[in-house]
Chain A
């Protein structure tokens, strides 16, 4: 029983980070309709930034969040403006055509980032030691300090995101753009800017998750390719484009992953996620919290 509770606790702590970068994915997908295959690689980018700042300059990961996040945000905006927006410039017969092109463009971007990382850092898997070392004990239960910090940071960041989306006028602008892009344009919303900004926020969230993830998760150039699949499962679980659903989906994925690792087999932990994924597709394809989307 204690082992079960312990497994669930670890799952929630790790899953909160899945939830954070997946909500970034869900946000940029929900608003721009871009399926960003390179999202996981921006997490990897954050992980390397965190690692290099610590090893090279002794910068604590918590400080790295403050330093790196604005840069990731700008990078995200830049990627949107320079790369993704190109697909919208040509007159498309249907938006889906642009969406397909965007998928492949972000896929190529993913290959590019992964191989740039490989060029810069080599293929070795690196780990960060000494930051948030040790456990916090509570009776028979314990929590890894790094994972506890991760949970705290991702909950706070998600809280801020939720507040911005639901309680500020900027959030209103974004939601208006999602609901009806043309109408939003007509009442004077600069939808082009909203797209770029929301894409930037999505990437920034990926960056934060990466910085924190690096404190307890080993990083290699190809780490992002596993993370993006976790993000896919998470957003389908939560309902496509549903930011809150994605966060809760992340927690679920974390718990399922840890349960499978403990009770089935360690190397099958991601298969456990997938079983849940398939069940969701059969029983509730619109996701746990999704509305049935038309066409």
Chain B
């Protein structure tokens, strides 16, 4: 990262850290900010797979595994969620390796199809194995009041800062992957898998390792999510909606771009949350229909997402200014 980028990143971080002081006063806005951070973190994790040109529509599987495992580790083994989220993340990473071995040997869109189909299977299984997961009803985290050692706080502000720390950490990891040798190999795979292979890049292994890393991070943030809501059900955990939400943020922001999920998350999640709340009482479906129209418009304007769109606009503006300066 260049120095300018680092300054910008720190500035954004400071802005986000001060947000509860000047904008997110109400409980509602604080919650919007919290959900934004959690899904942004998940989208950053998703995007690591996208560096290699793979597009996953099943990240809810890792998210849901992280959430369920965190609760179950606490309930059945009395493991504090502070450790539980990481153990759950490892579990998600192991599952990711399995999924990767199944689907990443094939190229092209197989991975997208397989991961999307997985969301359905995991939600059906979570409903079916009622004894373990509580079935349709879902699982609640045992309420402990204000118990910092058990990752439970009565004030949402703590969750906000914890989620912010995870966003920052995930972003740093993503930036590191992007600039590392791994990132270079991933870009080579994305651009031309055959050529990458010919250059000695172990394409399939690298794709699986990347998916495992992404699954690990997504599982961890799933655990953070369940601690902040204290409740999880099969549909929120594994459902296609969550998978689509995560992917949509990153893609509409800019797939495979470092800042893509950040921009996408900061714009789209609050939009969806505010639409949902302000159209309360209107016929169901209107809010998501409007949300879909916004996403469609963004992608029709620029299929590569908002970061690319902004760059295009900036370039055009610069050209106009330069032309103005010449005449």
A residues bordering B, Cβ < 8 Å? 35, 37, 83, 86-87, 90, 92, 94, 96-105, 107-109, 111-112, 114-119, 122-123, 221, 225-226, 229, 232-233, 235-236, 240, 265, 267-268, 270-271, 274, 277-278, 281-282, 285, 293, 295
Contact = CB atoms under 8 A, between A and B. Distances in A.
Given A101-B299, A108-B292, A109-B292, A295 B248 contact: no
A104 B124 contact: no
Contact of B124 (A83, A87, A119, A267): A267
B299 A285 contact: no
A270 B124 contact: yes
B296 A87 contact: no
A121 to B, nearest CB: 10
B161 interface: no
B42 interface: no
Contact of A225 (B109, B240, B299): B240
Contacts of B193: 295
B283 interface: yes
A229 B296 contact: no
Contacts of A37: 116
A116 B285 contact: yes
B244 interface: yes
B138 interface: no
A268 B296 contact: no
Of B283, B286, B292, chain A has the most CB atoms within 10 Å of the CB of: B292
Contacts of A235: 113
B117 A233 contact: yes
Interface stretch (B5-13, B100-108, B162-170, B216-224): B100-108
Interface residues of B, number: 49
B108 A295 contact: yes
10 contacts: A86-B300, A86-B303, A97-B304, A108-B299, A111-B291, A115-B289, A232-B117, A240-B109, A240-B110, A270-B124
Contacts of B303: 86-87, 90, 92, 97-98, 100-102, 105
> Main secondary structure on chain B at its contact with chain A?
helix
B194 interface: yes
A118 B293 CA distance: 15
Given A270-B121, A281-B114, A282-B102, A104 B293 contact: no
Contacts of A35: 109, 112-113
Interface in B256-302: 283-289, 291-293, 295-296, 299-300, 302
Of A109, A112, A123, A295, chain B has the most CB atoms within 10 Å of the CB of: A112
A271 B129 CA distance: 13
A114 B285 CA distance: 8
Contacts of B93: none
Given A104-B251, A105-B296, A295-B107, A115 B117 contact: no
Interface string B162-196: 00000000000000000000000000000101100
Interface string B96-135: 0000001101111110111011001100110110000000
B247 interface: yes
B292 A111 contact: yes
A57 B180 CA distance: 65
Given A115-B288, A281-B102, A293-B108, A229 B120 contact: yes
A257 to B, nearest CB: 12
Contacts of B110: 236, 240, 281, 285
Contact of B286 (A119, A122, A221): A119
